[in-house]
Every structure is written in C-alpha cells, then in structure tokens.
Amino acid sequence: MTTKIDITDLTLSFTSLNDHQASTIVLLHGGLSCRLEWAEVVPFLSDYHILLPDLPSHSESRDIELKSIEDAATHVSRLIRAHAHGSRAHVVGLSMGGFIAQRFAIEHPSLVSSLFVSGAEPYRGLRLFIARQPRILYWAVWIILFLPDWLYWQYASWIGFRRHEALLVEMRRNCSQEMLRNEFASIVRYKLEDVTKIQARMLAVAGGKQDDVEATAVVGEALRSRKIKDYHSNDFSRAVVVKGALHAWNIQHPELFARGIRAWIEGTDLPHGFEDI
C-alpha cells in the first residue's frame, strides 16, 4: 500500500540546543552544506537557544525540494513559529542561508529580532554572469568536492579551512545540479531594492578574501537609507568586512564568527577584525 504525503506538510529537519535559554538564534547554512557547518560555532553561543535546520534539498531535509529561496524562507518561518522561543529569533545566514534569511525577514518581519548575514550581497558583474550558468557552477564545485581525499584536505588546509570530515561527506551527497540551478535562479533575482524592504536591524558581512566587498558596502548604504517605521534599525544597521576571511569563514574562524553574532545581538562593539565599510 502506498501512502501519499502532502509535501506542504513536510517540515525541515533540525537540531535544537540549549532549550532552557531565553532567546533563540537560527543558523542557516550555505548551499551544498548542512547544519554541521555550524558545529564549531555553537559552543561559543551556549547561553542562547539554537535552532540548526537542514535547508530544503540538503541532508536530512533532502525530501523537501529546494524550489526557490522564497519557498525556503517559508519553511524557515514555519520552523520559527513552531520552535523558536516566543516565535521570534535572531537569524544568522551564510551564503545561500544569508539570502534565505533576508527573504524571510522581508516576508515575515514580526518573526525577526535581528539579522546577521554573511556573503549574501546582491550579485553583480562576473558573479552575476557565473550564477546564471548553473552547469558551469556544478562542475566547478564537483571538481573540488570530489578531489581524492588527500588532495582535498591539502587544498582545504592551504586556503585556511579547519577539518570538517562529516560535513564533507554531506556536501558530496548534497551536490546536485538541479538544486544548484534552483538555488541560483532565485538568488539572481535578489536585488538591492529588496534590501530596502527589510525592516530588521541587519549586519551585512563580507569575507575579505572571497566576497564582493564593494557590493556589501552598497548594501550597508541601502540599509541606512531605508524608509521604514523603525528608524532605530536604520541607524544601527551596517556593513563590515572581515579581512582575511573566506566566503565560508564560519569554518575558518568559528570563534570569531560566534563572537560577531553575539556582539550584534547584544548591541555591543563588534570584535577586532570586523571593519566598517
């Protein structure tokens, strides 16, 4: 007997940590990755309730198709309504997770306490051109992910990544041309005018080695010029660069990443290494 499942009822697989803590942080991973990319960040956030979802088409949420960034944001909203304390959260996103976080904040402003977004500035120039070539993207990623293990780890060490064996296994499993096509088809639709629709206080971060620092600076200007109800969010939103940081710098400098999250949430000075742009 075959049981039909209504895919609209499928919910993201997630891990919940520190349930006894008052405020919730949701950490949204990048494309091809999974919740494991935050493994070395969360120990430095032990006084916060943490939600770690696998996003659609990734790892334990593989049965939920990643149709678009907008659809993924809807799944995140369901997670926060059901499991965040007070149905509200500080949302942190890296790369694809950063685009989902911004789209979520636009569509569900009442569920957002603050935004911390890294490597998720609207694409332009060469990045925009490449993002529109999913086949090229797929093979470029595939070549790196499926290097012989000894060569992959030599490459990872050379660029500055910490060891991430379990995450690498999941990234290889998640490597799908269809997923990348759907991901980037919706990411390229995200424009600077969309940034101005965000109501929340937001920190836009660029990894100095691999992200588009100039585009991130423009995001900061757009945040400060928004015409929104809460002018406090305008005054305190900003863009920064972490020089020497890679795109996925939560795997490179997890403690610094966590300290940045904490400072942004708590309204204290950002750690040394975060420079305004």
Segment holding 182, helix H or strand E:
helix 177-187
| CB count in 10 Å sphere of residue 147 | 14
Tell me the average pLDDT across 249-263.
98
Confidence of residue 230 (pLDDT cuts 50, 70, 90): low
Q: Residue 172 domain-assigned?
A: no
Average pLDDT for 67-93 = 98
Q: What is the total count of domains within the chain?
A: 1
In a domain, residue 127? The reply is no
Per-residue pLDDT, 234: 56
User: 152 in a domain, yes or no?
Assistant: no
On whether residue 245 sits in a domain, the answer given is yes
Q: How many Cβ atoms from other residues are within 10 Å of residue 87's Cβ?
A: 13
196 is a domain residue? yes
Q: Is 215 inside a domain boundary?
A: yes
Q: Which two tokens stand for residue 164?
A: 């991430």
Pairing assessment for the beta strands 49-53 and 14-17 based on DSSP bridges? antiparallel
For range 2-31, the mean pLDDT: 81
| pLDDT band for position 236 (cuts 50, 70, 90) | confident
Question: Model's pTM, two decimal places?
Answer: 0.94
Tens digit of each residue's pLDDT (9 = 90 or more) over 185-205: 999 999 999 999 999 999 999
Residue 232 has pLDDT above 90, yes or no: no
Q: Does residue 227 register a pLDDT over 90?
A: no
* Within a domain: 239: yes
Per-residue pLDDT at 231: 53
DSSP letter assigned to residue 105:
H
In a domain, 139, yes or no: no
Give yes or no for a contact between 50 and 8, defined as CB atoms under 8 angstroms apart: no
Across 119-148, average pLDDT? 94
Rounded distance, CA 268 to CA 129, Å? Answer: 38
Per the DSSP assignment, residues forming a β-bridge with 90 are 25, 114
Residue 240's domain comprises 7-122+190-276
Mean confidence (pLDDT) of the chain: 94
**CATH code where residue 113 lies:** 3.40.50.1820
Is pLDDT above 70 for 69? yes
Average pLDDT over residues 249-267: 98
Q: Are 252 and 210 in contact (CB under 8 A)?
A: no
